[in-house]
Structure formats: structure tokens, C-alpha cells
Structure 1
Amino acid sequence: MNHRKVHTFAICAYKESSFLEECILSLKKQTVRSKIIIVTSTPNDLIREMAEKYEIPLYVNQNGGITQDWNFAYQMAESDYVTIAHQDDIYSSHYAESVIARMKKSKDPIICFTDYYEVRNGKKICSNRNLRIKRMLLLPLRLSLLQRRIGVRRLVLAFGCPICCPSVTFSKRKITKEPFQAGFRSDEDWEAWERLSWLKGEYIYIPRMLMGHRIHKESETTNILKDHARSQEDYIMFRKFWPDLIARKLTQLYASSEKSNDLDV
């Protein structure tokens, strides 16, 4: 069945990633056919060659930046459901099929997201401290009845961000405006989930590892952690849920999780 009008993978490509083709191939191997587009604010020969080789529409964003690129990708997708794919990540062949089925079954989906594994030095890591903590935080959302509860969603997000951004598919019927806000460099996804958590509807969680998130030295997350830009944003996010003293303590605890982005961990 052709789902190209229903679902789009919008790949955000940045500079010259050696992993871009692997990402594209994982999307080409989906069990259902979704529309695929590439967006970039750093056009170059590699990105153009990949777009031409795999006959994928390429759109150039003149206003670059993480949130700007993600929002541009969201705007360029014309389908009801949109997955903003990161160029370094890979997707299970059943990702689109599973997500589309669950969102169609839902009466009022906001987002749908899946469990994931990490890719470190070319190896598939299905469990480590970081992944175990996130799965524990997401336990309440395994129950479909609780996916509609605003209080439950906010409780899940109150101790950190357990939702893997590239695993998320958005409902454009529900989220008519740009989902991400400028001003954050590290927690732009957490800020979006917190803001969207106030909406009536469902946060659909599929507890299956349907995508792989790559951890490597050139990733933007790794670069952010090197200059410690994350802690200030973490504090801002915790203050949306907790009083000052608790927010500061949680920020300190959360900082220890930054070590999970070290390839040697």
C-alpha cells in the first residue's frame, strides 16, 4: 500500500555526513512507501549527489540553525504525518508501517514515538544506563489509557527527556504551527514535548526499538556537551515542572547523564 500522501520522512542533512546514505537506504527499505524529502541549510555536493542518486526532492533553507531546519522540514512535508529524520540515524523497515497504523487507530494523535537503540562505533547497543532510565520513565505511557492524560505526560517529562527526537512522528492536523521554538540549542526537543503535552490528544508510545540513534564524535549533541551549554537549558526545563531548589538538584543529577554520550562509556 502506498502511504506517500499520508506520511513523510523529512531528512535534515547538515554539512557532509558519511552516514547520510545509510539513513536514506533505511528509509527506502520501509515495508510501506512513505514520501522522502531532504532539507538542508548547508547545501553541498554530497547532499546534492545523494538527492539525485535516490531521486529525492531537495529543499534549501536560507535561515539555518537546528530548530530552523527542523521547522523548515516540517513545513516542506505535505502529508498528515511527518517524521523529521536525522541524517546520522537509521530506521527499522517496519517503523513507518507501525507508526502509521497506530496513528490511524488513534482518535486524536499528537505525536507517536518509539523505543530505540544506540549505534556506537558501528555496534548496535540495545541496553545501557541511559536507555534503561528512559524506558523506566516511559513506563506509564505503555498503557494507551494514560497516553491521553496530560498529568501523566508531564510526569514522564518532569525528570528529563526520555523521548528520542528522531523517533517521533507528528500529526500535522493537530500541530498546525511550527513544533520547535528558537532559543534552545540542546533541549529544543524537550521544550517541544513539554509545550505540546498541554494539548488534548494522545502521546502514542510504541515500546519497540524501531530506530537507531547514532552516537559519534561529530554529532551536534556531543559538541554541545563539550561546551557545557546543556546545563543551563536543563535548568530552564526543570523549572517548568519544579520549584527552584528541586530544579537545581535535578539539573546536577541530570548532568551526570551527559557522560552517556562519551563513546567510551
Structure 2
Amino acid sequence: MTGDDPETAPLAAKNTRDIDELDRLVSTCRACPRLVAWREEVAVVKRAAFRHEEYWGRPVPGFGPADARILVVGLAPAAHGGNRTGRMFTGDPSGNVLFGALHAVGLATGAHPVSRDDGIELLGIRLTAPVHCAPPDNKPTPEERHRCAPFLSRELELLGPTLRVIVVLGAFGWQALFTVLTAGGWNVPRPRLRFTHGAQVVITHPDGRAVTVLGSYHVSQRNTATGRVTPAMIEDVLLHAKTIAES
């Protein structure tokens, strides 16, 4: 394991040698006192429906293969979803919508994520977030996002040889991603493209790499309940990402 101090774990991200090592480092982090307190409180108090379950209660690492061609960037784990199960977009309504769409377009082996050991595998795609701990009210602070940024930065570097498309769910993830890309030396257009559902922009790096960034409304319970985003809309974005990644 690279780095011994969980309170400075993000600073050690740049020294991780592969995705597995990065994921292990993420799961040890205690760099944000507010988030640590909240995620651990939720894991003790629990929701009544899950009172007999043991909550993960730690930062939730990314999920998916180390040679993924597509990366999905969300917001943060849900208090009783990823913070409970220990896997991104697993165990809550948002995850059900996303995995249903992933399965429909051939990017996941299952459509009903319930736990880390449910056997579902992702195919050529990886799920991550700019903030790896469940935040109160689903609202990380800008400081917490900044503190967690080295994890996303290193994840992008480690996926570099194969990464072709990044799908961003929501404006928070869009802002976080482009901040990390700018800091990483990518040629980000000015003015920066505004987030909208269906936004698309190709970003290049001086070393010759290029990725296509696609914007999508988040699969939050509010968005899906109001019809702002539908499973069909998410499937369309993911199918577009798959087409680009395979071209």
C-alpha cells in the first residue's frame, strides 16, 4: 500500500502503481472530517430497512476494469447505497436506473445491483465519482471536492492507455472533471463548455491522447421521479459512448 496516513491519503494517490492499489488507498482515506463523521454515523444509525446489514461506512472506490474504454463520473456515494454496500451505484434507486441502462446496452452483465458480491461485472466501462464519501444531503463542499481530486486525477492517468470516453452525470461532476483535466495539462477549451444533457466535447492532451466527454443529467431519484431523465435517455448516452469507444 502506498501511503500510511489515512488523513493524507489523497496526496499519496500519485504514487499508486495500478487501479487496484488506487482503489485500496481510496478506501482508507480520512482526509475530510465532516465526511468521515457523517459516513460513519450513517453506518451505525442505519436505515430501518437495512438495520440488520453491516454497512461499508468507508470511502467507496471506483468499480470496473482497469482497461476500461469508458469512465462514468457521478457525484458521490449515496448514504444508504454505496456507503452501505461498498460499491459505486449499488443498492439505491439511482444505481438501479444506471445498471439497468448499462445492461440494456451491453456494458454490464446484470441489471439489478444489490451488493459487492452479486456477481455483476462491468464490460469495458468503469464507474467513479469526484467525491468518494457519502456527504450530508448529497452536497459535498468545494473544499471536499478539491481534497478528493487527486484520486480522480490518478484514475484518469492509470486508465490513460485505453480511455476513450468519459460520461459525466450532472453539473457537479462536470465541474470536478474539467478542473482535474485542466490541472492535468489537458487542452480544455476556453470558455469551458457549459454542462447540459447531451453536451459533447473532445479533449486532447499534449502527449497525443484524446477523450470525448459526454454530459448527462444525473440518475438521481429526483431527476428520475420527475422525468427530467429517463432510462431511455441514459441508454442513449451510454450507447453513444459505446459507439465512440469502439470506433
User: Which of the pair has more CA radius of gyration?
Assistant: 1
Q: Greater strand share, 1 or 2?
A: 1
What TM-score, normalized by structure 1, do the two folds share?
A: 0.29
What TM-score, normalized by structure 2, do the two folds share?
A: 0.30
